[in-house]
Amino acid sequence: MTTYFGNLKPKKGNIHINKERCKGCGFCVEYCPKDVLELSEEFNKKGYHPPRVAREEVCCYCQLCEAICPEFSLFVTLKEEEEEGENSESRP
């Protein structure tokens, strides 16, 4: 695990997506600074393509997707240290 300045570790995030509320606007995909998200191929009940987590390991818990989503359907929780290396539950 990379650390900086001695013991500073970068934060990691678990992304929770409410697929049914998503209206496919694409803001989260476009503005994630680490390109963690991408629009999935599947449809939700409304016919939109909700996002999916493509590169989960680089999520740095900036919470920009949570802040920008106009449908309030994305939020990020801090991944605890013990979860590192395990299969994350946020992969669909």
Partner 1 sequence: MSTQERPEERNPIEDLLRMDRIPHIWCPGCGIGTVVSSFADALHKSELDLNKVAIVSGIGCTGRVAGYVKLDSFHSTHGRAIPFATGLKLANPELKVVVFSGDGDIAGIGGNHFIHAARRNMDLTIICVNNFNYAMTGGQVAATTPIMANLSTAPFGNFEYPFNLAYLADACGATYVARWTSLHLRRVTKSIQEALGKKGFSFIEVITPCVTLYARRNRLGDGLNLLKYYYDNSEIRHGADTRTVPIDFQGKIIVGKFVDREKPVWLECMNTHLQKTLGEKYRPYGEKP
Residues that bind partner 1 (CB under 8 A): 14, 16-21, 23-27, 30-31, 48, 64, 66-75, 77, 89-92
The smaller minimum CB distance to partner 1, of residues 86 and 89, is found at 89
Q: Which is nearer to partner 1, 1 or 90 (CB)?
A: 90
CB of 89 to partner 1, least distance (A): 6
For 13-73, the DSSP string reads EEEEE-TTT-----HHHHH-TT--EEE-SS--TTS---EEES-GGG-----HHHHH-TTS-
- Which of 12/66 has CB closer to partner 1? 66
